[in-house]
Amino acid sequence: MLARAPTGHRSYRVHVKRTAGGLGVVAAAVLVALGAVTPTASSAVASTLVPAGTAPAAATGGWADWEPLDGAPGDWSTTVRLPATGFPAATVTSDARGGVGVVSGASSWLGPATPPGEVFGSSRGQAYLNLRPQADRADAPSTTTYTFERPTPGGGWAFVLGDIDADRAVVTALGADGRELTAGELGWQGGFNYCGGAGSPSCVGDPADVATWDPGTQELAGNAAAADTAGAAGWFRPTTPVASLTVTFFRRTGFPVYQTWFASLGRDVAGTVRLVDAAGTPQGVLPDARLTLFAADGTEIATTTSDASGQYGFDGVTAAPGYRVELTDLPEAGELHPHGLVAVGERVADEIDLREADATGVDFAARDVVPVAVSGTVLTDDGDPVAGATVTLAPVGGGAVLTAVTDSTGAYLVDRVGQDGVVGLPQQYTFALSGLPEGFVVGSAPDPVTVRPGQEEPSTGNDFVVRAPASVSGTVTSGGEPVAAVVVRIDGEGGAAGTTTGADGTYRFEDVLPGDHTVTVEAPDGYRPDGPDARDVTVGRDDVTGVDFALVTPGAVGGTVTDPAGEPMGGVTVTVTGPDGAVERVTDAEGGYFVGDLPQGDHTVAVTVPDGCAAEVTERTVTITAAGESLLAEDFVVACGPEPSASPSPSATGSPSAGPTGSPSPEPGPGPGGPDRGDLAATGAMVGSVALAAAVLAGVGVGLVRASRRIPPPPSGR
């Protein structure tokens, strides 16, 4: 159960269900044969619990592990996992073109002398992700979104964007409440060049050639000349929890590719559980006590038990603030402790901060129970534990009351519950419950309990059942597919709150007070509402489900204009006319045009033939559905001579030719440094090995190259 607001403060408890997610075929086959891209992700060292009794170790850094990239151009997905204990995995989606993949890190890496390497160690042999734009045009960026299964810790991790030279990237992120994080919260650390210094890869770069960050636009850009160079990179260390991270990657010149690394830093939490007497005097240590580590958002991260020396430890926990350790269970009654044990003092150590150092001396104490013990639980009618509630036992007829506070499992125990000390008669006690979160009401309480003279046996099963406020939940889809990292807000009785959808498109607001509320969806960039973007709901006692929203993914149309010999024709006007009107584009030096953000419906694509020229086909109609197709093969042939040449026959649907499917195929692309470096970032292959591929590709001809720039439709979900 997630943490609830303290008494006297109102907030919604938010729960989001999270689930886990070039060139042509000839060129791809050549590069696969050369071993250019690894088919599997590399492994990073996983964190484990500290063996009980060991001393805390120094901070440990590690690089992320990636699952193989799955899908097809325009619709890729994978999962990334950072090694620190308690760090949430992220589902990754991208609409990048082909020629992408998870790369082994054997040829390109961040050396120990780079700024990230000094913190997290070298990334040599650790996987990273290579991505490209949606199309090799300045107006066709790719969007890659990392949706974490729950918000990240507020520190202790980093991400690095590499090979930022002839391109630029806009970096945005959403917090746990759906708020867009500021540039400062993204934690820009600076630009660097990874080709220099001890332990660097075999590339040649200029130390002054680094990626630069504009906090006003949140844009990371390469050199001013947009030249293809080597090793330019920049890195970030977020300082606040991140629910989702998005990188929008733009081409400036050439055929760009960029790299992404993730890393985390781990520190240790350790302490001792001691046995004390009724006066609090130490009597020894306590083995077999169970302890639980919780994240700042209340998520249970790990559990362990104290060893024979009473010591316990959690190893490699993400170096962030806000952790708490709870003494969640004590050894049962037995020969050594005939009546059982009860915690002495605080059973929760909170506000543990691992940003600068390990947390040592996180100690707890317990003592033997003094009869009579009275125990029970406080649970909701759905069986969820209610932590932090105060149970009060009041003697009938007057006298001192006894209290206990429920732990994270909803359990409580009060001991020293005795008979009437004056007349030696049985004493009855009544139960009361307080300190519940706002909106919670008691459904049932235990009957009064009576303690008899001389009694030692405990009274158990004195349970409360409470009713929690209802929840409101739903799903956000586009074209029938879930959309992750969408901001959803609720406003009504009790105030306003926000959250983001999980990888499966779902969202959920817990503990919504009765009354009228409005739920609103905020369409992210690249989407439009398909129907209402707000829904009114009335909340009573029962949960409200099915508050769903649909989004439309705008489509795109693009292609090339060439002469009969296949040479590009720049400066030619192409007009796309659809439900929102007409949009004109002028072809670039490569003959390309691109029109994005197009709504559903029929669109007419027409080329304006220059004076003195002719074309057999000057217009065609294409259809974009709610799936938001990218129809990037709408080509025209224009002849500027005495005889017009034949144009390609449009398909019946206007859709592009089918591209490769399945796992990504590698293709040559600019490495971190272009022609002067020793390997290619897009492949991890050495330049000498790629020379053979280049020779084969040269024989394929210009037609294959042009075909490779035609991208299948983008994903319908983000």
* Whole-number Å distance between alpha carbons of 499 and 12: 10
What is the pLDDT, as a whole number, of residue 643?
52
pLDDT at 98 over 90: no
In the predicted model, is pLDDT for residue 81 greater than 80? yes
Checking phi first, is residue 165 left (phi over 0); if not, alpha (psi -120 to 50) or beta? Answer: alpha
**pLDDT grade for 685, boundaries at 50, 70 and 90:** very low
State pTM to two decimals. Answer: 0.77
Q: What is the pLDDT of residue 447?
A: 98
Q: What is the largest CA-CA distance in the chain?
A: 122
User: Could you report the per-residue pLDDT of 68-78, keeping only the tens digit for each?
Assistant: 999 988 889 99
Spell out a b/e string for 43-63, using b for 16 or more CB atoms within 10 Å of the CB, else e.
ebeebebbebeeebeebbbbb
Q: Is 708 helix (H, G, I), strand (E, B) or coil?
A: helix
426 and 397 in contact (C-beta within 8 Å)? no
pLDDT tens, 214-262? 999 999 999 999 999 999 999 999 999 999 999 999 999 988 999 999 9
C-alpha neighbours within 13 Å on the C-beta side of residue 71: 27
Task: Give residue-wise pLDDT tens across range 48-59.
Answer: 333 333 444 468
Say yes or no to pLDDT of 45 above 60.
no
Give the model's confidence band at 424: pLDDT under 50 very low, under 70 low, under 90 confident, else very high.
confident
Residue range 112-169, pLDDT digits in tens = 999 999 999 999 999 999 999 988 878 889 999 999 999 999 999 999 999 999 999 9
Element (H, E) at 184: helix 183-186
pLDDT score of 712: 36
Range with the lowest mean pLDDT among 185-199, 547-561, 584-598, 698-712?
698-712
pLDDT of 14 over the 80 cut: no
| Position 558 pLDDT exceeds 80 | yes
Instruction: Write down the mean pLDDT value for the chain.
Output: 83
pLDDT at 58: 66
pLDDT at 505 over 80: yes
Which are the contacts of 450, defined by CB distance < 8 A and separation ≥ 6? 426, 427, 428, 429
Name the least confident of 310-314, 679-683, 699-703: 699-703
Domains and CATH numbers, the chain: 22-47+59-265 (no CATH), 373-403+411-553 (2.60.40.10), 555-663 (2.60.40.10)
Q: Is the pLDDT of residue 663 over 50?
A: no
pLDDT at 234: 98
Could you give the 3-state DSSP secondary structure of residue 28? Answer: helix
CA distances from 490 to 139, 308, 521, 630, 668 (A): 35, 51, 9, 34, 48
CB neighbour class for 532 (10 Å; exposed up to 12, middle 13-18, buried from 19)? exposed
Measured CA to CA in angstroms, residue 478 lies from 224, 484, 526, 580 at distances of 38, 10, 11, 20
Q: What is the mean pLDDT of residues 289-300?
A: 97
Asked if residue 661 has pLDDT above 90, the reply is no
* pLDDT value for 653: 38
Task: Indicate if the pLDDT at residue 659 is higher than 50.
Answer: no
Is the pLDDT score of 662 beyond 50? no
- Rounded to an integer, the average pLDDT of 423-437 is 93
Above 80 in pLDDT, residue 615?
yes
| Mean pLDDT to the nearest integer, 346-358 | 96
In whole angstroms, what is the distance from residue 701 CA to residue 709 CA? 14
Q: Which two tokens stand for residue 22?
A: 């070039």
pLDDT at 46: 31
Instruction: Characterize 633-656 residue by residue with b for buried, 16 or more Cβ atoms within 10 angstroms of its Cβ, and e for exposed.
Output: bbbbbbbeeeebeebeebeeebbb
User: Taking the CA atoms of the chain, what radius of gyration do you get in angstroms?
Assistant: 31
Please say if the pLDDT value at position 635 is more than 50.
yes
> Tens digit of pLDDT for each residue in 15-39?
333 333 333 333 333 333 333 333 3
Task: Check residues 44 and 537 and name the one with the higher pLDDT.
Answer: 537
Residues 6+ apart with CB under 8 A from 304: 49, 50, 52, 290, 291, 312, 313, 314
Q: Give residue 254's pLDDT.
A: 82
